[in-house]
Chains A and B, each alone.
Chain A
């Protein structure tokens, strides 16, 4: 930002030099700020903006932020540092004579500021800046910006910016009383092509003076946009649902393994997720202080470490506690709850109770626009990641000997035992695997959730719902369960609100469990029933 601003200033300085005259329009405009009249201020803004003086941006920004001060007929800018600068000369000003008062603002002035800043930067060499400026003009709908817009459109070669500029022009034309109807109709057309919420708002709130044919065209265009938005909104919701479902899948999949093989309710599962998230935090801290260049890869580095950390805690837990509670699922539930309290408090003691900052590598920020929906890269990454973890686990369970043993033990523990499988080792490994996967989930969740000691608590009930809904001992069930719950949740949200939607879903699951106590894809058989 700061670099940008400096650049901009230099650029404007060059511009200004070209037209510099000693007492140019800028110097003439400045005193109008002192008259304490909104109309004068408004006019001064326009004049300053048009002057091309290098200080123009500073003056108008200061005005916006209430840092433009006047006193004894002169205008000053107060820097954030508190230093005063003479707006006319750009020189530092030590000790002002008399009292200084900020120039007052009202809504009209604010709009003028917005428009002025917009047009000032419409020609900025940085495309992102230009885009921002075009949006600002769009929002302000200031007729005064029209000439600047036209000029910018004529030069603009970057398509998104050009589109934004054109929409801004359309918006201004629509609200401009004396614009010819043909221009207005074209504007409607432009807005219809833009086809988003803002365009819709513009089209459905035409000023009273709009000619009837324009009103009719706008009405039709608005309907079209509404239909399109509703269409994309449905996709957007499904996408949110898939994204939530992926989060649930990540959180629940490790649980499905431990619950499936050992019928053990591991209440500390959420804490394994939390450990994974804190591992990510640690990795990033180390990278920040020792290898800043590696930051982009920090998550990839954190993955195996999180697996190891959470996995070893899981194995430890199994060997020292859960092993002794085999066949007593309710006691296991209580003991692991105790462990979860200890882990939470441990992390709280070491890292403090507040949220820890886990950064997002540059490649994961930003968003992909598809139609009228916007898919953020970090969500995309999580969805892809969740499915990859699922696929890898599926392969591990299918093609490795550990997987074979785990499946055998899941289906019939006693039989597996009598066939020479060392069930207790399988238990420990399966527990380690499940916990490790939870740790990996923590790496992903650190990107979208607060990394705090309570991170895991938020997921435990949901994860159980997923596993129970999908059916125990079946990874596909977990996938279907996670996606169903995620999507149902997000589809309900617009109608019921987030909380009621969630409550409705919990109730639905409670009812569902009662209809199918073993879940959607339950294993059948005598052993499971016992």
Chain B
């Protein structure tokens, strides 16, 4: 491996993913720093979710380098190993464990030993209980603690999933369309929450909603047809001719 040992947290270079000849990602390069928050925008089918699939080990790229903390080759690891490295992911459609209570969802996500033996003999410590209390508070689900996750509203599920992400204590959070299906108020609250999270962790947010992205107020990368079209502040990116062209139709 000749890739440079970079100080960056996440380093993607020349990543290409093709499905039966169709290139969902086309020589994509992206660098994320420690404790950086980045917003990714792009039209439907631009490859945003596929990029997350590559980072989290769900999809193997046909070509390219994906390094985490400069040393870990993400293309050689599976989902579990990558999660253990400290990359957490929230899916485009919220996926929580519907049959479990809100509390158990968080319990499962807590940063603990993950082996079968460890979980079989684990006993819940007070410390964990406090962590869960704090998390519930943070994602405003304290009142729902004992409800089954399947009974939550769409927005609440999104938040629960973010709470689970936090419980994992990852170094990098990948968040796919968090504002989808939320009311304006919820969207604004989510932006607040993410900004808060980004104080201590690196975050990549994929979002369509421009107000939301504006609320975040961070550097923006625009993907199109699997590669980076433009990068910079939201204003700079939205002023970019090609971005306008892509968004307003050809």
Binding site for B on A (CB under 8 A): 524-525
Per DSSP, chain A at the interface is loop
Give the complex CA separation of A524 and B20 in angstroms.
8
Question: B19 an interface residue at 8 Å Cβ cutoff?
Answer: yes
Min CB distance A221 to B, Å, is 59
What range describes how many residues of B lie at the interface? under 10
Give the complex CA separation of A525 and B19 in angstroms.
7
Min CB distance A209 to B, Å, is 75
The residues of A that contact B19 with a CB separation of less than 8 Å are 524-525
Give the complex CA separation of A524 and B22 in angstroms.
12
Min CB distance B24 to A, Å, is 10
The residues of B that contact A524 with a CB separation of less than 8 Å are 19-20
Q: Could you count the A-B residue pairs with CB atoms below 8 Å apart for me: how many are there? A: 4
Min CB distance B49 to A, Å, is 10
The residues of A that contact B20 with a CB separation of less than 8 Å are 524-525
Min CB distance B94 to A, Å, is 16
Min CB distance A517 to B, Å, is 15
Chain B 3-40 interface residues, beta-carbon cutoff 8 Å to A = 19-20
Min CB distance A395 to B, Å, is 25
Min CB distance A516 to B, Å, is 15
The residues of B that contact A525 with a CB separation of less than 8 Å are 19-20
Give the complex CA separation of A524 and B18 in angstroms.
11
The 4 A-B pairs with the shortest beta carbon distances in the complex, nearest first, are A524-B20, A524-B19, A525-B19, A525-B20
Residue of B nearest to A524 (CB): B20
Give the complex CA separation of A485 and B29 in angstroms.
46
Give the complex CA separation of A525 and B20 in angstroms.
9
Give the complex CA separation of A524 and B60 in angstroms.
14
What are 4 A-B contacts defined by CB distance under 8 Å? A524-B19, A524-B20, A525-B19, A525-B20
Residue of B nearest to A525 (CB): B19
Min CB distance A367 to B, Å, is 47
Min CB distance A307 to B, Å, is 35
Residue of A nearest to B20 (CB): A524
Min CB distance B175 to A, Å, is 20
Give the complex CA separation of A113 and B96 in angstroms.
87
Give the complex CA separation of A525 and B24 in angstroms.
12
Residue of A nearest to B58 (CB): A529
Give the complex CA separation of A524 and B19 in angstroms.
8
Residue of A nearest to B49 (CB): A526
Min CB distance A449 to B, Å, is 41
Min CB distance A477 to B, Å, is 16
Residue of B nearest to A526 (CB): B19
Give the complex CA separation of A525 and B59 in angstroms.
12
Min CB distance B81 to A, Å, is 20
Min CB distance B87 to A, Å, is 21
Give the complex CA separation of A525 and B50 in angstroms.
12
Give the complex CA separation of A32 and B20 in angstroms.
89
Give the complex CA separation of A392 and B20 in angstroms.
28
